[in-house]
A and B are shown apart, each in its own frame.
Chain A
Amino acid sequence: MNGAHDLGGQQSLGPINPESESSESVFYHNWEKKVFAITLACGFLGKWNIDEARHSRERQHPVIYLSNSYYENWLAGLEKLLLEKKLISQSELTTGKSLDINKKSIAPNPHKAMTIISAGSPSNSEESKPYKFNIGDIVRVRNNHPAGHTRAPQYVRGCLGSIIRKHGVHTFPDDNAKGIKSGENLYTVRFDSNTLWGQDKHELTNIHIDLWEPYLSIE
């Protein structure tokens, strides 16, 4: 989806203005802590995967996405998923009152939650597929603009790069965001900055992006 989240190469966004590392906090407000923790805790219920979560944040009007703070976008995505997966109803969300009587808890306790955190959720697969591309191959990123979730940023579509690393089969996000589990070979592709942004820059810079096989074609 060509949404506001796909930011690589966007201009006139102004300076970074980073805080100094020593004066940072992990969270700045109590509600941010809560949004972070509720999002993780609800994720543990297994009703959605990481790409569905990403896509729930992306599916906002660009003006809203860009004017929201980071955890406001998380909150918007979380509410959307809770409604879409029918874990809550719109009237419950509005009133804050549960319509279930004596509902048995399915929430992981702290011990179970820490076990989930500590185990992680690897995205690679035991299954292997023959690689279509090899290290050193020049590939072109397909100029596709899918309406759904994708992890091929707009700024490399149609561009030429070279394969520098092969990672085996990883969960394919475009399908995963639709709740369909599939795996495709994943590669790291190197792009010369001058081919992405204009040959007159003479920049000694290379941009590396992880791209799945269906995003690529051989030149």
Chain B
Amino acid sequence: MAELENMHDNEIKKSHLPSDLDLRVKTLETLLTEKGLIDPETLDALVDTYENKIGPRNGAKVVARAWVDETFKLLIKENCSKVIKEEFGFKGRQGEHIIAVENTPKIHNVVVCTLCSCYPWTVLGLPPTWYKSAPYRARIVQEPRSVLAEFGTIIPKEKEIRVWDSTSELRYLVIPQRPLGTDDWTEDKLASLVSRNAMIGVSLAEEPPL
């Protein structure tokens, strides 16, 4: 069993090594460029977009707004993609149909894609490695409480867990509960408490420093 449990670690290590992959991908890039199927400048622009421009700070702004503005919260629970396009300009690929799900004292939400890696790119950027990993995709639908505990998140057994498996083109965004002691906080300051993990639902929003 120890051997099996190490497999995932080995796969991660393996993915950090392969120089043959550098070569294989470079060969493909050269070929496709020569054939006029890709433009190298477009590749750079795409990487720059998802490394530097579109990421979880977008989602944090949406959550912070929902915490301070009840009407906005109701609107994003109705039609999130339309509202955040109008309010923040967050729009486009892998964010066409976002559903916002709200954590409450009685309900904790968490998101997965068991079949691949569907994820709301426009508000969270590209998914982290663990979200795409076999153990997360396999286990979160069957034993969410144990999986959340591995992230340090303990959900009492009296609290309902709602898992959202993203099998269609709908994309799920968790609105975590607003931490106590933040009543006089500005929206910008509140956004700093919203981690990416909290918007997937594997963590809670951060507590304000004492």
Contacts and interface: CB of A to CB of B under 8 A. Distances in A.
A36 B32 contact: no
A109 B39 contact: yes
Interface in A134-161: 151-153, 155
Interface string B91-116: 11111110000000000000000111
17 contacts: A9-B142, A10-B138, A14-B135, A15-B150, A24-B128, A26-B51, A70-B117, A72-B21, A100-B35, A103-B34, A106-B36, A116-B93, A152-B167, A153-B114, A155-B114, A204-B159, A205-B161
| 10 A-B pairs with the lowest CB-CB distances in the bound complex, closest first | A69-B15, A105-B36, A210-B168, A8-B114, A96-B27, A14-B5, A123-B169, A110-B45, A37-B43, A98-B34
Given A16-B147, A122-B169, A204-B160, 4 more contacts: A41-B39, A113-B46, A117-B46, A207-B165
A6 interface: yes
A189 to B, nearest CB: 10
A12 B117 contact: no
A120 B96 contact: yes
B7 A117 contact: no
B28 A8 contact: no
A75 interface: yes
- Quick one: which of B18, B130, B133, B138 has the most chain A CB within 10 A? B138
Contacts of A24: 128-129
A38 B28 contact: yes
Contacts of A79: 28
A118 interface: yes
B161 A18 contact: no
A87 B55 CA distance: 32
B47 A37 contact: yes
B177 interface: no
A217 interface: no
Contacts, number: 291
A41 B38 contact: yes
Contact of B4 (A7, A14, A108): A14
A205 B160 contact: yes
B42 A41 contact: yes
Given A12-B1, A205-B160, A87 B93 contact: no
A99 to B, nearest CB: 9
Contact of A31 (B25, B197, B202): B25
A30 B43 CA distance: 12
B183 interface: no
Task: State the main secondary structure of chain A at its contact with B.
Answer: mixed
Interface of B: 1, 4-9, 11-12, 14-16, 18, 21-22, 24-32, 34-39, 41-47, 49-51, 55, 91-97, 114-117, 122, 125-126, 128-130, 132-139, 141-142, 144-145, 147, 150-151, 157-170, 195-197, 202
Given A16-B135, A18-B130, A210-B170, A45 B30 contact: no
Nearest to B109: A208
A205 B138 contact: no
A16 B16 CA distance: 17
Contact of B150 (A5, A18, A113, A204): A18
B97 A107 contact: no
B43 A41 contact: yes
Interface string A7-49: 1111111111111010010111111011111101110010000
Contacts of B147: 16
A5 B168 contact: no
A209 B43 contact: no
Contact of B35 (A33, A103, A114): A103
